[in-house]
Structure 1
């Protein structure tokens, strides 16, 4: 019963992103890139502070 449920799900997941997600989004604006970089640096900062607090 498990295989009957999981097999078509895996097939749809594998076969679906052929025409939609094959090409990466090229049209990223500078503001979007800056926002992503800001979010990434903020998450890295909080990760660092969490590690420092765990070491204390």
Structure 2
């Protein structure tokens, strides 16, 4: 998970904030670019929900 978070940070999708002290506390926030993905991901989720039964039925015998 750390690798994926780092990659998303490098891509400008997430911003990382590290708090001083112990225990170590790190938070990640969506950047403006990351927030722009929310609508796309919502649409992808709706599409998957609409066709999920078809996919399950077609792949049941595979």
Please indicate the TM-score interval, normalised by the length of the shorter structure: 0.3 to 0.5
Higher helix proportion (structure 1 or 2): 1
Higher strand proportion (structure 1 or 2): 2
Pick the structure with greater CA Rg. Answer: 1
- Point out which structure has higher relative CO (alpha carbons under 8 A, 6+ apart): 2
